[in-house]
Chains A and B, each alone.
Chain A
Amino acid sequence: MKTFLTTLCLLALPALPAAETAAPLAIFGETLHTLAGPAIKDGLVLVRDGRVTYAGPAAGRAVPADHRVLRAKVVTPGLIDARATAGLSGILNQPQDQDMLDRSAPLQPELRAIDAYNARDPLVAWVRSFGVTTLNTGHAPGSLVSGQTMIVRTAGHSVEEDVINPAAMIAVSLGGSAVNRAEGPPGGAAKSPGTRAKAVAMLRAELIKAQEYARKREAKDETKRPARDLRLETLARGLDGSQRFLVTAHRQQDILAALRLAREFNLRIVLDGCADAPLVLEEIKASGFPVILHPTMARASEDTENLAMDTAARLAATGIPFTFQSGYEGYVPKTRVILFEAALAAARGLGFERALAAITLDAARILGIDARTGSLADGKDADLALFEGDPFEYTTHVTTTVVAGRVFADGPR
């Protein structure tokens, strides 16, 4: 009877994501791309307690009896989507599941991604089924400062369990999407910013306010300190470099405005989008800032009308660190898949090796998480993607995704 009751209880439990318990793993890859070194023929990755304990040639390496064996033609580190809104921009695209943008004010750096992320939105599982193990997700482009992003695993249980960095970047948008071109109400003023120049002026004013706030908060006399202000506090973290600014800028004048702001306030920024990057390659290179490039298949219109499928190749040739993104989508497809975006770039001049590095190790470096993921080596998180052939071929399935040692086989994708 007890067994029967236990069974009943188990049946009554809500269905968990298609993950299995984190048994130790032995993953054989006919080709193993560790990204820590050259590709290995007949490679092996051993995993225990969510960490890699060995990544190298399989030859001469004993597999402990308690390890579950997985095999694949090609094994890579788990893919990293460096700029997403998955988990905030829900699958239904109805007002009640769209949490990536609040338009009540143009500057809202205090909005945190962890307070909105739905780990169980089907689109999180969807991108995971295409090998994605890590997201930098959060507030979308579309207002001057829309909020923050966070770095999260795609295990899909809860934000608390999956989060890696709860406050990764502060999302800033320059250019068309953040400029309100609408007329104001009759006799009233239109909402600001209404032009590009106004947007930058508003941002500069706010950053200066945050500088002053930060200085006053340091006052020795506690009574002289200003009251806490979540908005300025967040910007102050950006100013002291503990949180970076993720600046969406497509037009070359917007990219240059971002670099100008970075110089004025000594900011650490990551450039996002950059459809016009080929027009200002030297300036971007000189700044030293990395680029999270628009999806290769993004639609070319308005601010992105100049985008090209071979921009990634040009960034690579110039020596600019970059990665890809799924970005924000307002209609269908509701999310893009970075595996596909990198694949097309690989085929349009970037090449296999650079494209794979872009969505693994390079993405990890740009997000500042390369000590734990983005490559396969002893001690790293066990984030892996298993493929039945060339990962970038349209017809190659992802067979399994491993997130911190948990095996997800969502069916061949």
Chain B
Amino acid sequence: MPPRLLAALVAALLAAGAAAAQEKPLAFTGARIIPIAGQPVDNGILVVQGGRILAVGAAASTAIPAGAEVRDARGKVIMPGLVDSHSHIGGASGADGASPVQPDVRVLDAIDVRHASIQKAQAGGITTVNVMPGSGHLISGQTLYLKLRDGRVIDDLLIRLSDGSTAGGLKMANGTNSIRTPGGPFPGSRAKSAALVREQFVKAQEYKARRERAGNDPEKLPPRDLALEMLVEVLEGRRIVQHHTHRHDDILTVLRLQKEFGFKVVLHHVSEAAKVAAEIAASGVPASVIILDSPGGKLEARDFALENCAALERAGAEVGLHTDDSVTDSRLFFRSAALAVRAGMTRDAALRAVTIANARMLGLETRVGTLEPGKDADFILLSGDPLSVYTEVEQTWVDGVKVFDLANPADRLYARGGPGAGDSRRAVLCCFGSAWDIIAAANGGAGQ
């Protein structure tokens, strides 16, 4: 082995070691900690180990384990990593123009984990994200819930559920985006949109029943149908529908279909939520709200109101927020929470709306969304009040690994912008693993 290659291998192993979750406990002291679960503490301690939170609380009552590495975080604010319930980062795509109903299509097969938009989301403090296909279809495909680890391949970012499956939802839409005139296979009206969706779910109910009747008899099992299999997952409550819907009547249509078929659903965008806040709250269906700088831009957002969050909160609905990146910028996710507060939402609810509320909407609330012992060590360090324009995300940690540091010039570029900020993350220093990366590094190159 040439010495240069050997050196590169050693460097690669060191880098890999640095990127792994620490075995030694790591304690942050002196910070204001906003755990979301429970009240903020001014002089708090957060201890993480092995990718999990070991302890969190006031300095007076939280022990730092022997042998822990201690970092002074005085003057900083520590919060759970943000959870974004609706994003389009990673250059992902979903269904094509062949049909308005394509539940078999997966974002999983179309995402670039080195895409600059993922680096920018890390810079914004986002650690868990629901990556969605677009809204131009009634059913545009399977969404993907990701942890924003520094990954080499998509598998590095996936969230595995206890049954071994990959966490994700199903993207649906109603209103104007999925209506096309002339339509071809696409609906030309709202009623037709609902009819097409009902038809699919009825088919899926029958498919499910046939499968159940067949039991374990392979002779009697219906032929595999990827689209219907997916809808059966939804009917069985194993996958949550993430539903684009803006206008008040469209929102009610979603609630009507939810009642008919009993699936779990989250309402997304809800530009006219304030008009039907009571109905949303009564349904028990959570809403993930988009915050825009102005109404309009499309017919169904004409009556968009900054007050939607406040109205939903007052009515007693569960409220989340999302970036819809690139509609709003992942680096400014806190801004949405702050503007919701500007329009009457309480601060506590707004901070929940970018953390635990979204975690619940993805069914991941036992793992992420708050700082509590046993949960994933996903947290962020802020320079100050999370809802102030003057505050910056200084560090982002996922599973106990730092994935963003404002003090690092390469990370800072993604945080601030500038030449190169649109380029994919380079392989070097993040994700050695193939001989080609190592050889490229040994030759002073930049990997891929």
Does chain A bind chain B? yes
The answer on a CB contact under 8 Å between A300 and B297 is: no
Instruction: Check if A337 is an interface residue, CB within 8 A of chain B.
Output: yes
The answer on a CB contact under 8 Å between A300 and B295 is: no
Instruction: Check if A145 is an interface residue, CB within 8 A of chain B.
Output: no
Instruction: Check if A357 is an interface residue, CB within 8 A of chain B.
Output: no
**Shortest distance in angstroms between A86's beta carbon and chain B's nearest beta carbon?**
9
**A335 with B293, Cβ < 8 A, contacts A297-B329, A394-B335 known:** yes
The answer on a CB contact under 8 Å between A393 and B295 is: no
Which interface residue of B296, B338, B339, B341 has the most chain A CB atoms within 10 A? Answer: B296
Bound together, the chains give a CA A155 to CA B23 distance in angstroms of 64
The answer on a CB contact under 8 Å between B419 and A306 is: yes
**A347 with B390, Cβ < 8 A, contacts A300-B421, A305-B422 known:** yes
Within 8 A of B (CB), among A111-158: 122-123, 126-127
Contact of B419 among A90, A94, A279, A335 (CB under 8 A): A279
Contact residues in B for A413 (Cβ distance below 8 Å): 342
The answer on a CB contact under 8 Å between B294 and A393 is: no
The contact string, 1 if C-beta is below 8 Å from chain A, for chain B 327-369, is: 1010010010011011000000000000000000000000000
Main secondary structure on B side of the interface with A: loop
Bound together, the chains give a CA A272 to CA B18 distance in angstroms of 45
Contact residues in A for B418 (Cβ distance below 8 Å): 278, 306, 308
Bound together, the chains give a CA A309 to CA B392 distance in angstroms of 12
The answer on a CB contact under 8 Å between B293 and A337 is: yes
Instruction: Check if B24 is an interface residue, CB within 8 A of chain A.
Output: no
Contact of B302 among A92, A278, A297, A392 (CB under 8 A): A92
The answer on a CB contact under 8 Å between B297 and A394 is: no
**A122 with B296, Cβ < 8 A, contacts A309-B416, A332-B327, A347-B389 known:** yes
Instruction: Give the contact stretch, choosing among A206-214, A219-227, A338-346.
Output: A338-346
The answer on a CB contact under 8 Å between B293 and A340 is: yes
Contact residues in B for A336 (Cβ distance below 8 Å): 293-294
Instruction: Check if A42 is an interface residue, CB within 8 A of chain B.
Output: no
Contact residues in B for A392 (Cβ distance below 8 Å): 389
Main secondary structure on A side of the interface with B: loop
Instruction: Check if B301 is an interface residue, CB within 8 A of chain A.
Output: yes
Instruction: Check if A4 is an interface residue, CB within 8 A of chain B.
Output: no
Residue of B nearest to A279 (CB): B419
Contact residues in B for A395 (Cβ distance below 8 Å): 338, 341-342, 387
The answer on a CB contact under 8 Å between A307 and B294 is: no
**Shortest distance in angstroms between A382's beta carbon and chain B's nearest beta carbon?**
26
The contact string, 1 if C-beta is below 8 Å from chain A, for chain B 270-305, is: 000000000000000000000011111111011000
Bound together, the chains give a CA A83 to CA B416 distance in angstroms of 23
The answer on a CB contact under 8 Å between A393 and B297 is: no
Contact residues in A for B341 (Cβ distance below 8 Å): 394-395
Contact residues in B for A340 (Cβ distance below 8 Å): 293
The answer on a CB contact under 8 Å between B422 and A332 is: no
Instruction: Check if A196 is an interface residue, CB within 8 A of chain B.
Output: no
Instruction: Check if B326 is an interface residue, CB within 8 A of chain A.
Output: yes
Bound together, the chains give a CA A122 to CA B297 distance in angstroms of 12
The answer on a CB contact under 8 Å between B339 and A394 is: yes
Instruction: Check if B388 is an interface residue, CB within 8 A of chain A.
Output: yes
Instruction: Check if A6 is an interface residue, CB within 8 A of chain B.
Output: no
**Shortest distance in angstroms between B382's beta carbon and chain A's nearest beta carbon?**
13
The answer on a CB contact under 8 Å between A337 and B294 is: yes
**Shortest distance in angstroms between B392's beta carbon and chain A's nearest beta carbon?**
8
Contact residues in A for B302 (Cβ distance below 8 Å): 91-92
Instruction: Check if B183 is an interface residue, CB within 8 A of chain A.
Output: no
Contact residues in A for B338 (Cβ distance below 8 Å): 394-395
The answer on a CB contact under 8 Å between B416 and A334 is: no
Bound together, the chains give a CA A92 to CA B391 distance in angstroms of 34
Bound together, the chains give a CA A393 to CA B341 distance in angstroms of 12
Instruction: Check if B316 is an interface residue, CB within 8 A of chain A.
Output: no
Question: How many residues on the A side are at the interface (Cβ–Cβ under 8 A)?
Answer: 44
The answer on a CB contact under 8 Å between B389 and A301 is: no
Bound together, the chains give a CA A310 to CA B301 distance in angstroms of 31
Instruction: Check if A185 is an interface residue, CB within 8 A of chain B.
Output: no
Instruction: Check if B417 is an interface residue, CB within 8 A of chain A.
Output: yes
The contact string, 1 if C-beta is below 8 Å from chain A, for chain B 135-146, is: 000000000000
Instruction: Check if A333 is an interface residue, CB within 8 A of chain B.
Output: yes
Bound together, the chains give a CA A333 to CA B417 distance in angstroms of 21
The answer on a CB contact under 8 Å between A334 and B297 is: yes
The answer on a CB contact under 8 Å between B296 and A332 is: yes
Within 8 A of A (CB), among B370-391: 387-391
Within 8 A of B (CB), among A255-305: 276, 278-279, 297, 299-301, 305
**A306 with B296, Cβ < 8 A, contacts A91-B302, A347-B389, A394-B339 known:** no
Instruction: Check if A378 is an interface residue, CB within 8 A of chain B.
Output: no
The answer on a CB contact under 8 Å between B389 and A308 is: no
Contact residues in B for A337 (Cβ distance below 8 Å): 293-294
The answer on a CB contact under 8 Å between B299 and A334 is: no
The answer on a CB contact under 8 Å between A394 and B389 is: yes
Bound together, the chains give a CA A335 to CA B295 distance in angstroms of 8
**A91 with B296, Cβ < 8 A, contacts A344-B389, A348-B416 known:** yes
Residue of B nearest to A348 (CB): B416
Contact residues in B for A305 (Cβ distance below 8 Å): 421-422
**Shortest distance in angstroms between B89's beta carbon and chain A's nearest beta carbon?**
13
Within 8 A of B (CB), among A292-331: 297, 299-301, 305-311, 329, 331
The answer on a CB contact under 8 Å between B416 and A93 is: no
Contact residues in B for A397 (Cβ distance below 8 Å): 342
Bound together, the chains give a CA A393 to CA B388 distance in angstroms of 6
Residue of A nearest to B331 (CB): A309
**Shortest distance in angstroms between A318's beta carbon and chain B's nearest beta carbon?**
15
Residue of A nearest to B306 (CB): A413
Contact of B295 among A301, A311, A334 (CB under 8 A): A334
With A308-B417, A343-B389 already in contact, 18 other A-B pairs whose C-beta atoms are closer than 8 Å: A93-B297, A123-B295, A123-B296, A297-B332, A299-B326, A305-B421, A307-B417, A308-B421, A309-B417, A331-B298, A332-B296, A337-B293, A337-B294, A347-B389, A347-B392, A394-B338, A394-B339, A395-B341
Name 27 interchain pairs, CB-CB below 8 A, sorted by A.
A91-B294, A91-B295, A92-B302, A93-B297, A93-B298, A123-B294, A297-B329, A299-B329, A300-B421, A300-B422, A301-B326, A301-B422, A305-B422, A306-B418, A306-B421, A309-B416, A331-B297, A331-B327, A332-B296, A333-B293, A333-B294, A334-B297, A347-B389, A347-B391, A392-B389, A394-B342, A394-B388
Residues of A within 8 A of B (CB): 90-94, 122-123, 126-127, 276, 278-279, 297, 299-301, 305-311, 329, 331-337, 340, 343-344, 346-348, 392-397, 413
Residues of B within 8 A of A (CB): 292-299, 301-302, 326-327, 329, 332, 335, 338-339, 341-342, 387-392, 416-422
Top 7 A-B residue pairs of the complex, sorted by shortest distance between their CB atoms? A91-B296, A394-B338, A308-B417, A332-B297, A334-B297, A305-B422, A333-B293
